[in-house]
Amino acid sequence: ALGKGSDLEKAFATVALVYNNSSDPEGKLSKAETKSLLQTQFGGFIQGQEKKPKYQEIISALDEELENKIDFEDFMILLVSLTLMSDLLQEIKNVKTTK
């Protein structure tokens, strides 16, 4: 969709595409589906985070109230939260280029 878009535009388009391909007809994900998607598509960012209290809080919220679903906005907030606490973020900050 964004063949000539910037790296950032392509990244966000990819997030939207992955979410939309996984979501139900109402455009939502169950919490179990969200957890599975994070494990399969966001593993690099969540690897090694299991002992951090904030990570445990986020994941336990996905394990509770399974009937509640996650919309795209909540999914994006979740990704940003997990990214900010990730050890991988520091590694990324040490790299000065996207190429």
Instruction: Give, for all 99 residues of the chain, the pLDDT tens digit.
Output: 567 889 889 999 999 999 999 999 999 999 889 989 999 999 988 888 888 888 888 888 777 766 788 999 989 999 998 888 887 777 777 776 655
Q: How far is CA 63 from the centre of its chain?
A: 16
* pTM for the model: 0.80
Number of domains in the chain: 1
- Largest interatomic CA distance in the chain: 43
Q: Is residue 54 part of a domain?
A: yes
* Structural contact between residues 9 and 50, judged by C-beta atoms closer than 8 angstroms: no
CATH number at residue 78: 1.10.238.10
Task: Establish if 45 belongs to a structural domain.
Answer: yes
Classify residue 1: in a domain, yes or no: no
CA 65 – CA 1 distance, rounded (Å): 35
In a domain, 48, yes or no: yes
Domain that holds residue 31: 7-98
